[in-house]
Amino acid sequence: MARAVRDVVPGLAGSALTLAATLVGLTALDWRFALAGLCAVPIQAATLRWYLRRSTPLYARQREVGAERTRQTLESVSGAATVRAFRLGARHTRRIEERSADAVAYAQRATTLRSRFYGRLNVAEFVGLALILVVGHVLVRDGSARVGEATAAALLFVRLFDPVNILLALAGTAQEAAAGLARLVGVADLVAASPPGTSEEARTAPSAPGPYAVSALGIRHDYRPGHPVLHGVDLRLAPGEHVTLVGASGAGKSTLARIVAGAHAPTAGSVTVRAGAGEGPRVLLVDQDTHVFAGTLADNLLLARPGAAASDLAAALRAVGAEGWAGALPEGLATVVGAGGLALTPLQAQQLALARLVLADPPVVVLDEAAAEAGSEGARGLERAAEEAIRGRTALVVAHRLGQAARADRVAVMEAGRVVEEGTHAGLLAADGAYARLWAAWAARGAE
């Protein structure tokens, strides 16, 4: 995003000025030179349309697989003790290799697409230059122009190559920036469009006050064909229920959570959000990959609710325990944070994401290891903040610390892409199954 903003504005201004001046020069020599050069425009327009149609989904997928590679690596490293305890090292190494191979493959596809894009632009340049040379030859032969004028027209057109290519390439930069923006938001609001795999009931059901019921049925998902990570998972959340997903690293918790949130489309199955009357269901996702945008603290909060009053912003910060450090900022809510401003700690950035959640006031919330990036003390504080933020809402929580599971209404245990146990914390401990083993391993490490 920063590169896009830095490059697009000066590149657009400089190229547009050069383009206008050169066209004026061609017209001054002879309007027929300008007309010949403009014959390249339809080819360039068709090339740009061809490129945008292919680059939009490609860049979005490239960002997604890159994020999955990072997530898999972070998950494996942060859960190293559990990985070792369950002897899952080889499996996690293989998954990191697969995610890395996917990221490289999509990077190569993006490079190939850009190369073909510039190749087609070269065809347009050839057509325009050839027509100018032909027009120049005709005009010189019948005495309407001198050789020097025809040569100058050709040279002026050649000078258009760089600015025109820069202008067209800026569209590609904008596509990359748009794909990146979708991955950077700490709270992803999925109101506007239903994701693929969401049922018609979820798409058309209007919104009502209070929490909603959520059903994920028959969820299957694979990032690579033939390599499923979820195997027919069924999960239901009653209105206002808090369900915590637990399991070893790589069990499929984050994938299931993101499918419920709408960030991923399932390979098979459906997600339904049942609501009453209103403007349509909303599911918001908060994960550990938060982002602080360059701007004031207020600007970062207003992303969730544009036009909110300063008192609302302060109340949201207070709800997540961030009023202390926010109040101590040199200019309060007007303090510039992020790139070029005050750097927030991971704990503060996560509190900021939770404050956005409070402001957005969604009926359904998905928390994907939202406290994983903070230290032990910070994680406990974030857990309390998260519990306050999801109060009164239907919530699915991917737990980094099993203490969160102990306070949930229900716990779902995942292993190898399947839900293998469901129940209350006490009931699952009494069952002495997979959850009891996870709890014992976590408690043995001192419940860090």
Give me the pLDDT at residue 14, please. Answer: 72
Maximum pairwise Cα distance, the chain: 100
Backbone angles phi, psi at 364, to 5 degrees: -130, 135
Q: Give the separation between CA 154 and CA 111, rounded to whole angstroms.
A: 31
Using a pLDDT cut of 90, give the percent of the chain over it: 7
Amino acid identity of 442? W
- Which of 406, 440, 437, 439 is CA-nearest to residue 423? 406
Q: What is the mean pLDDT of the chain?
A: 78
Cα separation of 132 and 38, whole Å?
Answer: 10
How large is the average pLDDT for residues 300-328?
86
In tens, the pLDDT along 370-407 reads: 665 555 555 677 778 888 888 888 899 988 777 778 88
Token pair in block for residue 262:
């709408």
Q: Would you say the pTM of this structure is higher than 0.75?
A: no
| Residue ranges matching CATH 3.40.50.300 in the chain | 200-444
Residue 112: pLDDT band with limits 50, 70, 90: very high
What pLDDT score does 279 carry?
A: 45
Query: Could you read off the pLDDT of 54-75 as tens digits, one per residue?
Result: 887 888 788 888 878 887 787 6
Reported CATH class of domain 200-444:
alpha beta
Instruction: Render the burial of 336-346: b for 16+ CB within 10 Å, e for the rest.
Output: bbbeeeeebee
Angle at 140 between CA 134 and CA 146, to 5 degrees: 125
In this prediction, residue 28 carries a pLDDT of: 85
Per the listing, tokens 């390979």 go with 267
Q: Which residue has the tokens 């209070």?
A: 210
User: Could you report how far apart the first and last alpha carbons of the chain are, in Å?
Assistant: 36
| Cα–Cα distance list, 33 to 121, 139, 145, 159, 250 (Å) | 20, 10, 11, 14, 63
- Using CA atoms, how far apart are residues 214 and 211, in angstroms rounded to an integer? 10
pLDDT of res. 278: 43
pLDDT digits (tens, 9 = 90+) for 35-58: 888 888 898 889 888 988 888 788
Amino acid identity at 90: A
DSSP letter at 334 equals G
The residue-averaged pLDDT of 64-92 equals: 69
What residues contact 290, with CB distance under 8 A and at least 6 apart? 186, 349, 350, 352, 353, 373
- C-alpha 59/C-alpha 24 separation (Å) is 37
CATH number assigned to the domain with residue range 2-184, chosen from the 4 options 1.20.1560.10, 1.20.1440.230, 3.90.1150.10, 1.10.3720.10: 1.20.1560.10
Out of 86-90, 143-147, 282-286, 378-382, which region has the weakest mean confidence (pLDDT)? 86-90
The yes-or-no verdict on residue 338 having pLDDT over 70 is: yes
**For the chain, where do the domains classified as CATH 1.20.1560.10 start and end?**
2-184
Q: Rounded distance, CA 102 to CA 106, Å?
A: 6
